[in-house]
Amino acid sequence: MGHTICEKRECTGCSVCVSSCPKKAIKIDLDECGFYRPKIEDNLCVNCNVCNRVCPVNNPPEVYGPTKAFAFQNTEEVRFNSTSGGFFHAIACRIIDDGGVVCGAAFEDDMVLRHIIVAKKEELAPLQRSKYVESSLDGIYTRIRDYLRNGRKVLFAGVGCQAAALRNYIGEDKNLIIIDLVCYGVPSSGLFRDWITYIEKKYAKVVDVRFRDKSYGYYTPNIKVLFENGKYIENCRDSNIYAKLFFRNLSVRESCFSCHFKTVDRSSDITLGDLWQTDGLETIKDDDKGTTCLFSHTEKGKELCQELGAVEIDKEMLLAKDAQKMVSCISTAAGTGKFWELYKERGFEVIINTYEKDNFLRKVKYLIKSLLNRTGLSRWMYRKLKMKKIRDNR
């Protein structure tokens, strides 16, 4: 039996084992369900156990409790192109002004999501928005280490498991700032690729996917797929099926159902998420354009939040409202096994016709949603629904 890094069901696909192996005996590739999975070449492995020690599942890094909580809103233009309130853009600009670099996930020309490193403000836009897909970090840890060794500041943004992996790999460094995100779960990169291929066969080459497009406001869920010819689709079966599978917990990585990193205490400097309730915050506007909530975990993180003008809010109040998102793992969906067997045996097009039938009622539903969006009624309706859901979950 070959060397094992961690149990397969707990592997997060963070890839830190690949960067850590002194013999380059570990490769990362997509498994049969389309998730990143390390593979050890036993003929090269010398059982040094470096991969086991750096794995954040096996060896969780030190964590820190939230020191302060903040709310943040950037300019309207920045917020429109951001997932929530645009804090990432603000801190990224600060790091670049200080001569540093920024690492985050972006779709590249082949529509594969990868963590990349940028050093110019005009290169930040692709990193700002949510991407409901697993990102590749192959090679990124060593590049970050090299920047730090050369005295450059580095800002890293990723989900909790990726942040923990980087902390294990680098340790503490005054020039490293780690942001982790309040994460729902990580869907399959292979499934995403198959969805893109399906769409391109029907329409045109895809150049971007905006999972939380704000064309109809912050509260209104909208997924927009943009094409090379300047056209786009939204509010239809083809643009929605991938996200629907995600939010039904069908396409999510197995480790997300028992995530080790869903805790209030984190190994990052700052945790970033959405702030939906802004009542009582005098300097924060409820303008349907997005607000970021922040938890600082280190002194370095707290100072950055304060320097960038984030508004301090009551930590205990925010924990009471949003801690559930930080600590609760998603539930395993009924029929997950059947879903993956169907995908592996018959492919994505059978999945879409099984889980999102293109019938008359569905077409009417999307037509009504489009009309609500265009008339502005969706802004009011979705805000009411969101507030009701928050109250019911208290």
Segment 121-170, tens digit of pLDDT: 999 999 999 999 999 999 999 999 999 999 999 999 999 999 999 999 99
pLDDT on residue 212? 93
Between CA 151 and CA 173 the distance in angstroms is: 10
On whether both 339 and 321 belong to a single domain, the answer is no
User: Alpha carbon of 102 to those of 12, 75, 119, 151, 271: distances in Å?
Assistant: 23, 20, 6, 14, 16
pLDDT tops 90 at residue 252: yes
On whether both 150 and 261 belong to a single domain, the answer is yes
Cβ-in-10-Å burial (0-12, 13-18, 19+) of 24 comes to exposed
The lowest-confidence range among 65-69, 114-118, 266-270, 278-282 is 278-282
The CA R_g of the chain, rounded to the nearest whole Å, is: 21
On whether both 262 and 174 belong to a single domain, the answer is yes
pLDDT tops 80 at residue 364: yes
Side-chain-side CA neighbours of 35 within 13 Å: the count stands at 20
Averaged pLDDT score across all residues of the chain: 93
On whether both 266 and 158 belong to a single domain, the answer is yes
Residue 257 belongs to some domain of the structure: yes
User: Alpha carbon of 160 to those of 28, 60, 295: distances in Å?
Assistant: 19, 11, 13
Q: How many structural domains does the chain have?
A: 3
**What are the structure tokens assigned to 331, written together?**
């539930």
pLDDT on residue 207? 97
pLDDT on residue 281? 82
Residue 284 belongs to some domain of the structure: yes
The predicted model gives 32-47 an average pLDDT of 95
Residue that is last in its domain, among 289, 307, 327: 327
pLDDT tops 80 at residue 279: no
pLDDT on residue 250? 96
Residue 60 belongs to some domain of the structure: no
Quickly state the pLDDT bin for 98 (edges 50, 70, 90).
Answer: very high
On whether both 239 and 262 belong to a single domain, the answer is no
On whether both 242 and 283 belong to a single domain, the answer is no
Q: Which residue has the higher pLDDT, 47 or 391?
A: 47
Residue 3 belongs to some domain of the structure: no
Between CA 375 and CA 41 the distance in angstroms is: 58
On whether both 289 and 156 belong to a single domain, the answer is yes
pLDDT tops 60 at residue 352: yes
**CATH, residue 163:** 3.40.640
**CATH, residue 36:** 3.30.70.20
Question: In sequence order, what are the beta bridge partners of 271?
Answer: 180, 295
Residue that is last in its domain, among 327, 349, 364: 327
**What are the structure tokens assigned to 91, written together?**
């801190």
CB 16 within 8 A of CB 168: yes
On whether both 100 and 219 belong to a single domain, the answer is no
On whether both 84 and 97 belong to a single domain, the answer is yes
Between CA 378 and CA 387 the distance in angstroms is: 14
CB 161 within 8 A of CB 17: no
The predicted model gives 62-69 an average pLDDT of 93
pLDDT on residue 391? 66
pLDDT tops 90 at residue 326: no
pLDDT tops 60 at residue 261: yes
The predicted model gives 347-374 an average pLDDT of 89
Between CA 383 and CA 375 the distance in angstroms is: 15
On whether both 245 and 359 belong to a single domain, the answer is yes
Residue 148 belongs to some domain of the structure: yes
Quickly state the pLDDT bin for 376 (edges 50, 70, 90).
Answer: confident
Residue 310 belongs to some domain of the structure: yes
At residue 294, the 3 state secondary structure works out as: strand
Residue-number span of the structural domain to which 297 is assigned:
68-186+253-327
CB 221 within 8 A of CB 212: yes
pLDDT digits (tens, 9 = 90+) for 168-177: 999 999 999 9
Residue 59 belongs to some domain of the structure: no
Q: What percent of the chain has pLDDT over 70?
A: 98
Between CA 81 and CA 90 the distance in angstroms is: 13
At residue 313, the 3 state secondary structure works out as: strand
Q: What percent of the chain has pLDDT over 90?
A: 80
Residue 94 belongs to some domain of the structure: yes
Identity of residue 279: D
Residue that is last in its domain, among 278, 294, 327: 327
On whether both 89 and 197 belong to a single domain, the answer is no
Quickly state the pLDDT bin for 361 (edges 50, 70, 90).
Answer: confident
Q: Which residue has the higher pLDDT, 184 or 320?
A: 184
The predicted model gives 64-90 an average pLDDT of 95
On whether both 295 and 258 belong to a single domain, the answer is yes
